[in-house]
Amino acid sequence: MLGFSNQSLTNFLFWLTQKKWFLITMVIGLILFFLPSPAGLTLTGYRTIIIVITALMMIITEPIPLPAIAMYILVMEVYFGIGSANEIAESFMNDAVFFIMGSLMLAVAIVKQGWDTRIALGIIKLTGNKTSNIVFGFTAISAILSSFIGEHTVAAIMLPIAMTLIRFTSSDPNKVSNLSAVLLFSIAYGCLVGSIGTPSGGGRNAIMISYFRDANLSISYIDWMIKIYPMVLIQIPIVAWILQKSFIPEYSQLDSGVRKLAIQVAKSRKMTGRNTVAALIFFLVFLGWVFFSESIGLGTIALTGVLAYMIGGFVRWEDLNRNTHWGVIILFGATVSLGVNIKATGAANWLANQVINLFGELMETFPFVSDAIVVLMTTTLANVLSSSATVAVLGPVTLNIGSDPMHSGLVTAIASAFGYFTAVAAPACTIVYSSGMVKAVDFLKVGWKVGIMSMILLVIYVNTYWLFIN
Amino acid sequence: MKILIAVSSKEYSGPTLQVGIKVAKAFNASTTIVDVGEKISEFSTKAVGLARERMESWDFDRPGIEVLEWAFSYLAEKNFIEPQHIEAGFPKNTFVDRDGRRGELYLKGTVCDNVNLILRNGDIIAELRDEVQTEMYDVTIIGGSGERRMAHDMVQYIDSSIFIVKNFDPSQDYRILLAVDDSPGTSRAIKYGARVAQAFNIGVDILTVSKNEEFRDGYKGAAHRAAKFLRRSGIDAKNIFKVGDPSDTIVEIATNNHIIIMGASTRSPLKKFFIGSKPLDVMENCSCPILIVK
């Protein structure tokens, strides 16, 4: 037909089926483009919202590679006249993006140090053989570590420890399916619970801090911890309890698994001076975050740590390069750029006003309603796309909801960690899912309980404890 | 001749493997067993890679490897393949990742000529299509899937003959139902039919369906050619002539004790996409294994 061979027609049809979400997105984008912009919203503001909608649809369905979506955002912002080419390029990079880059690279450096056997030893020394204690230990250690070194690092380190316990309890996966679920979810959910605890717990926190800075607000590392860490500590036992009620483990004692783990640890190399220095570098990075992040930025300090690891020869550039997803970093840059422009074009204000118009009376009568709305919006979005992207895009809007931008901003950052419902929401969840030992449906099965608990707890927490400490 | 067998899990892939390896032997073909793991969100590919590196340092295989390992030992146990154990082999299962999407698995201490193990990650149709295109397989063998969309996409986009092993019960007696007509695909289908019949040591029912009472010369010719070819190959063959809708009739006669073999449609890809084709209709509605010869 028309000179096209059957082969090229087949190729074209295949392309169509693979890219159908891209085409659907473009059609929706075009329809929106030709609709008049809503009253009270500038033309550039409306066009920014069109880019946000189409970009989010593509991030969720992934019809084209993530860096391609980043480029789409970039070129559309220029074509739509939202900013000049240079302004858009500048909006792509800030300290938060550097922080994401730095923490992804720190993860590689840390995971390569082989601290997993030390952590394994620590856990079993603390918990003993009892399954319920081990589940609590896994949740608590994952949460506390991920507050400081990032959730994907912790999940990668903890996964083999859990696998050892599971495989050496029974080699038949069907006999330990609940045990697998309970241990793996304690890692994933522990990481999520902990990641809210400090500004360096995740890229999303760093993005929120950069938005605070743009709005001339500031929060120190310690203040963040004072405000939020108790929430981490409250959630740990509740999550461990919900997990054990949802997946009743087949074994109440894990004798053979724990024994095997002890043998594995004994076989591994002893801690060397080099390992100690590597740990010390990380500790210095942590101190840097605590004392200097307000003045020189989280990203600068993270990259200083990476620099030190490279100078010290703790990690090779090839390893960093191979294990760092540059495409994802560019995409985070693009979502930050979108966030900046949502604010600059007035779209953020307009969107926030729509929410206030809808729920304004309720929000005035019951102050916690605005928190509930922010939590609901953020959690929903965070479960279908990356949590950092959620904060990047939603942050500028939620800062305008409620009377105190700092309050709503922190609530947004916390709620963006509630990616319990799906296997794709958070890297920690994807990591345990990729072990093949838990099913996608399990995330929904237990996620809704943990999710609803966390959402309600957060609304109560910020309306009681925060009032108290203020 | 190269054959690709796609496996998914231990629970469902036994029959697919048995049928696949028998067909491969009939054609004296080299066999590749592939497992396509789930697509990982691009946000987390590197994090998952990092976690897998850790897992490997603790001697845990990545998911998918145990399915391939099981498939290999399943075939060895049933004496379909003869693996050799060699001292100088790999000390543990070794996975050679080519580009993050496709990798080759070498099992510990074992080699077997003519059997390759491949692990891929991603959308199943896209991965199988890529595998078939780059490695040029002649037949792709896959277990039956309940999903209509998947069957459609297999027939539409996989550029090889396709054997869907639907509801195969190794203990049951089967016959082959060879559907012939005057289309150019028929002669290849006859050849494949003969080989498969020999491999399973079963007879062939040659089915010719005409839409009207008058059977065209091309139809009759194809039926007689097929019978002659099969009998010469020492296969028990009998002709069946039916009037009716071809797809419905094939499904009706096949019930669940036949293996259907028919030529691929020669319709243009656009027509196949929007209207469908005879093989696709049959594949969607039959409840037995079916081989569509391209």
Q: Which two tokens stand for residue A358?
A: 């809808």
Q: Answer whether A436 sits within 8 Å of B40, measured CB to CB.
A: no
Report if residue B196 sits inside a domain.
Answer: yes
Q: Which residue in B281, B58, B15, B40 sits closest to B167, CA to CA?
A: B15
CA dihedral B165, B167, B170, B175 (to 10 degrees): -80
Model confidence at A270: pLDDT above 80: no
Q: List strands edge to edge, sheet with B30-37.
A: B94-97, B102-106, B115-121, B30-37, B2-7, B139-143, B161-165, B290-293, B258-263, B175-180, B204-210, B237-243
Say how many domains are in chain B.
2
Strand-pair partners of B111: B84
Longest Cα–Cα distance in chain A: 76
Residue A47 to residues A77, A117, A347, A351, B177, Cα–Cα distance (Å):
8, 52, 9, 13, 60
Residues B238-256 have pLDDT tens digits of 999 999 999 999 999 998 8
The answer to whether A191 and A143 are in contact (CB under 8 A) is yes
| CA pair distance A326, A71, nearest whole angstrom | 13
pLDDT tens by residue, B62-116: 888 989 999 998 888 888 888 888 777 788 888 888 777 888 898 888 877 788 9
Helix/strand/coil for A415: helix
pLDDT at A16 over 80: yes
Residue B146 has pLDDT above 70, yes or no: no
How many Å apart are CA A223 and CA A213, to the nearest integer? 15
Taking CB atoms and an 8 Å limit, are A17 and B269 in contact across chains? no
Q: Is residue B180 part of a domain?
A: yes
Q: How far away is chain A from the Cα of B130, in angstroms, using its nearest Cα? A: 11
Asked if residue B145 has pLDDT above 80, the reply is no
Say if residue B46 is in the same domain as residue B141: yes
Say whether both B40 and B112 belong to one domain.
yes
User: Does residue A130 sit in helix, strand or coil?
Assistant: strand
**Domain, as residue range, for B190:** 175-293
Query: How many Cβ atoms sit within 10 Å of the Cβ of residue A197?
Result: 26
Distances (CA, A) of A310 to A314, A318, A332, B81: 6, 11, 24, 50
**Residue B227 belongs to a domain:** yes
Distance from the B41 Cα atom to the nearest Cα atom in chain A, whole angstroms: 6
Looking at the fold, whether B121 and B6 belong to one and the same domain comes out as yes
A1 pLDDT exceeds 60?
no
Q: Report, as an integer, the average pLDDT of A370-374.
A: 93
Residue A117 to residues A255, A261, A280, B30: CA-CA distances in angstroms? 18, 9, 18, 43
From B132, B165, B198, give the residue that closes a domain. B165
CA angle A306, A312, A315 (to 5 degrees): 60
Give me the helices (H) in A247-367, please.
255-267, 273-296, 298-311, 317-323, 326-344, 347-365
Q: Cβ(B138)–Cβ(B221) under 8 Å?
A: no
Checking if the pLDDT of A241 tops 90, the result is yes
Interface test with A, best of B50, B65, B294 (most A CBs within 10 A): B50
Q: Say yes or no to pLDDT of B293 above 70.
A: yes
Residue in A9, A16, A17, A437 to test binding to B, most B beta-carbons within 10 Å: A17
pLDDT of residue B229: 94
* pLDDT recorded at residue A221: 95
| pLDDT for position B83 | 82
Tell me if A419 sits within 8 A of A454, measured CB to CB.
no
Whichever domain contains B200, its CATH number is 3.40.50.12370
Residue B117 lies in a domain: yes
Q: Residue A316 carries which DSSP code?
A: -
Structure tokens at A270: 């002893």
- Does B170 reside within a domain? no
Residue A424 and residue B44: Cβ atoms within 8 Å? Answer: yes
Q: What pLDDT was estimated at residue A442?
A: 92
Q: Which residue did the predictor score with more confidence, B273 or A354? A: A354
Q: How many residues does chain B have?
A: 294
Domain endpoint, select from B165, B190, B222:
B165
ipTM of the complex: 0.89
Task: For residue B34, list its beta bridge partners.
Answer: B6, B118
**What is the share, in percent, of chain A residues with pLDDT greater than 90?**
76
In a domain, B33, yes or no: yes
- Chain B CB contacts of A434 under 8 Å are 40, 44, 48, 51-52, 63
**Residues near A279 by beta carbon (within 8 Å), at least 6 away in sequence:** A113, A115
With beta carbons less than 8 A apart as the criterion, state whether B43 and A324 touch.
Answer: no
**Do B6 and B150 fall within a single domain?**
yes
Query: Do B191 and B116 fall within a single domain?
Result: no
- Rounded Cα distance between A338 and A353, Å, is 19
Mean pLDDT across chain B: 88
Can you tell me whether residue A253 is helix, strand or coil? Answer: strand
Per-residue pLDDT for A205 more than 80?
A: yes
Residue in chain A lying closest to B149 (CA) = A17
Distance between CA atoms of A369 and B171, rounded to whole angstroms? 65
Question: Scanning every residue of chain A, which has its alpha carbon at the shortest distance from the alpha carbon of B156?
Answer: A10
Query: What sign has the CA pseudo-torsion B272, B277, B281, B284?
Result: negative
* B39, B43, B58: best to mutate for the A interface, most A CBs within 10 A: B43
Of A9, A18, A167, the CB nearest to B268: A9
Is the model's pLDDT at A3 over the cut of 70?
Answer: no
Partners of residue B261 on adjacent β-strands: B178, B291
Summarised one tens digit per residue, pLDDT across range B223-243 is: 999 999 999 999 999 999 999
Nearest to B47 among A9, A116, A430 (CB): A430
The conformation of residue A200, written as its DSSP 8-state character, comes to G
Min distance A428 CA to chain B CA atoms (Å): 8
Type of residue found at A450: V
* β-pair type (B84-85, B110-111): antiparallel
A297-336: pLDDT as tens digits: 999 999 999 999 999 999 999 999 998 999 999 999 999 9
State whether the Cα torsion B39-B291-B104-B136 is positive or negative. negative
Per mean pLDDT, which of A214-218, A241-245, B263-267 is the most reliable? A241-245
User: What mean pLDDT is reported for chain A?
Assistant: 92
pLDDT tens digits, A59-107: 999 999 999 999 999 999 999 999 999 999 999 999 999 999 999 999 9
Distance to chain A for B39, nearest Cα, Å = 9
Residue of A nearest to B44 (CA): A427
Rounded CA gap, A244 and A201, in Å? 26
Mutate to test the interface with B, among A10, A108, A163 (most CBs of B within 10 A): A10
The domain spanning residue B69 has which CATH number? 3.40.50.620
Residue B284 structure tokens:
């969607």
Give the per-residue SS3 of chain B.
CEEEEEECCHHHHHHHHHHHHHHHHHCCCEEEEEEEECCCCHHHHHHHHHHHHHHHHCCCCCCCHHHHHHHHHHHHHCCCCCCEECCCCCCCCEEEECCCCEEEEECCCEECCCEEEEEEECCHHHHHHHHHHHHCCCEEEEECCCCHHHHHHHHHHCCCEEEEECCCCCCCCCEEEEEECCCCCHHHHHHHHHHHHHHHCCCEEEEEEECCCCCCHHHHHHHHHHHHHHHHCCCCEEEEEEECCHHHHHHHHHCCCEEEEEECCCCCHHHHHHCCCHHHHHHHHCCCCEEEEC
Q: What pLDDT does A171 receive?
A: 84
Question: Band of the pLDDT at B147, cuts 50, 70, 90?
Answer: low
Q: Is A4 left (phi over 0), alpha (psi -120 to 50) or beta?
A: beta
Based on the fold, state whether residues B85 and B34 are members of the same structural domain: yes
Between A430 and A270, the more confident residue is A430
Bridge partners of A444, per DSSP, are none
Q: Give the count of beta carbons closer than 10 Å to the beta carbon of residue A171.
A: 9
Residues B134 and B187 in one domain: no
Q: Let me know if residue B56 belongs to a domain.
A: yes
Q: Which residues in chain B have their CB less than 8 angstroms from residue A328's CB?
A: 42-43, 46
Task: Report strand pairing: B115-121 vs B102-106.
Answer: antiparallel
- CA of B150 vs chain A CAs: smallest distance (Å): 12
Whether B206 and B71 share a structural domain: no
Mind telling me how many Å the CA of A357 is from chain B's nearest CA? Answer: 35
3-state secondary structure of A467: helix
Which of A76-80, A133-137, A176-180, A399-403 comes out lowest in average pLDDT?
A: A399-403
Neighbours of B166 (CB within 10 A): 22
Q: DSSP character for A416?
A: T
Query: Cβ A431–B48 below 8 Å, yes or no?
Result: yes
Q: Same domain, yes or no, for B126 and B197?
A: no
* Chain A to chain B Cβ contacts (< 8 Å): 105
- Compute the distance between CA of residue A413 and CA of residue A378 in angstroms, rounded to an integer: 8
Residues B116-128 have pLDDT tens digits of 999 998 889 999 9
B181 & B161 share domain = no
Answer yes or no: do B182 and B283 share one domain: yes
| A324–B43 CB contact, under 8 Å | no
pLDDT the model gives residue A122: 86
Nearest partner of A247 among A187, A192, A185, judged by Cα: A185
Which of B42, B49, B54 shows the shortest C-beta gap to A62? B42
Residue B148 tokens read as: 């209509």
Give the span between the Cα atoms of B33 and B71, in whole angstroms.
Answer: 8
Q: How many CB atoms lie within 10 A of CB A326?
A: 12
Last residue of a domain, one of B165, B198, B226: B165
Pair B7, B136 in one domain: yes
The one-letter amino acid at A98: F
pLDDT at B154 over 80: yes
Which pLDDT belongs to residue A216?
92
What's the burial of A19, exposed, middle or buried (CB within 10 Å: 0-12/13-18/19+)? middle
Considering only CA atoms, give the Rg of chain B.
Answer: 21
- Say yes or no for a CB contact (<8 Å) between B51 and A159: yes
Residues of A in contact with B55 (CB under 8 A): 159-160, 163, 435
Q: Has residue B261 been placed in a domain? A: yes
**What 3-state class would DSSP assign to A385?**
coil
In Å, how far is A67's CA from the nearest CA of chain B? 10
Question: Which residue's structure tokens are 């840059």?
Answer: A333
